Amino acid sequence: MYYSQLRAFHAVAAHGGFSKAARKIHISQPAISDQVRKLEERFDVRLFDRQKRSVVPTDLGVKLYEITRRMFDREQEAIELLSESQALRTGHLRMAADAPMHVVKLIGDFRKAYPGISIVLNVGNSDEVLARLFEYQADIAVLASVPEDDRLWHITLRSDPLIAFVSREHPWAARKKISLKKLSREPLIMRERGSITRATIEKEFARLGISYTVAMEADRREAAREAVAAGIGVGIVSLPDFGYDNRLKPLELTDSRARITESLVCLKERAQLRTVAAFWEIASSRHTTPPHDPANAI
């Protein structure tokens, strides 16, 4: 309510006169004089001793100037902070991913371009990641399956086939390929329900009319890998999810048509946030990575 009046008072006190203050804050001298007069009249006080060639703050004016100096210093700090953020020299970006390996390279590229932006990455299954996005706990998500929803924007990062993997002690470890039909005779290590990998595998078995046995459900990739390494059963993942583990052997699935697609996703209403838009631009320029060829990778 008193911002303009306090700003006018502060300028006069800081620059020692109405004319200098008017030039500094780019308003007319009559206007700045009027603002100071209104402030004095409103509180029935005298803030300046007005002399012919100088304006000197009263004792009350000196005390008020100490307050306004701190006030406008803070305002300048706020402007500088916002300017830094606008230039992406400071700030943070919250991300959630169902498979972190698909986004860490992009995070590295982003950090090289904007080293002042800190990043928080949370990992969960697809349901958890999508919930974080809709609850504004994540600015950007990486998802294997993007629902049809007008609130979302997305671009495809990659598309990869399913593979099986077994322990190096398993009789199939000498193979390079296996069929889903043959695989179904073994106990399977499956991800929890809500996982896109689990849903994709189930659709493939249903397409082929194959029944199967689940030996164990694992709510994280790491748990599934440990179970397979321990010889509890056979696992199925997308090719990049397998990564590398010298205890395990990947096998191409000869009769699987399914592919796991990973996409970068954000809410349309947040797409114009500078950090989101900057990450999106980097991802858009790099998302043409060709899918893996199982014959070459396994």
- 5 phi, psi to nearest 5 deg: -70, -40
CATH 1.10.10.10 for domain 3-86: yes
Domains 91-156+261-297 and 158-260 fall in the same CATH topology: yes
Nearest Cα neighbor of 274 from 82, 76, 75 is 82
- The torsion angle over the Cα atoms of residues 55, 61, 62 and 66, rounded to 10 degrees, is -120
pLDDT score recorded for residue 24? 84
CATH 3.40.190.10 for domain 91-156+261-297: yes
pLDDT score recorded for residue 12? 93
- 166 phi, psi to nearest 5 deg: -130, 165
pLDDT score recorded for residue 145? 82
The pTM of the full predicted model, rounded to 2 decimals, is: 0.59
pLDDT score recorded for residue 289? 42
CATH 3.40.50.300 for domain 158-260: no
Characterize the bridge pairing of strands 152-167 and 248-253: antiparallel
By CB atoms closer than 10 A (0-12, 13-18, 19+), residue 182 is middle
Residue-wise pLDDT tens for the chain (298 aa)?
Answer: 789 999 999 999 998 899 989 988 889 999 999 999 999 999 999 999 988 778 899 999 999 999 998 898 888 778 767 776 777 888 889 999 987 877 888 999 999 999 999 999 998 888 889 999 998 889 999 998 888 999 999 999 888 899 999 999 999 999 999 999 999 999 999 988 878 888 999 999 999 999 999 999 998 888 999 999 999 999 999 888 887 889 999 999 999 999 988 899 999 988 888 899 999 999 988 764 433 333 344 4
pLDDT score recorded for residue 243? 79
pLDDT score recorded for residue 291? 35
Nearest Cα neighbor of 145 from 206, 220, 203, 195 is 195
**Domain segments of the chain: what residues?**
3-86, 91-156+261-297, 158-260
- Cross-strand bridge partners of residue 117: 91
By CB atoms closer than 10 A (0-12, 13-18, 19+), residue 12 is buried
Nearest-angstrom CA–CA distance, 117 and 23:
38
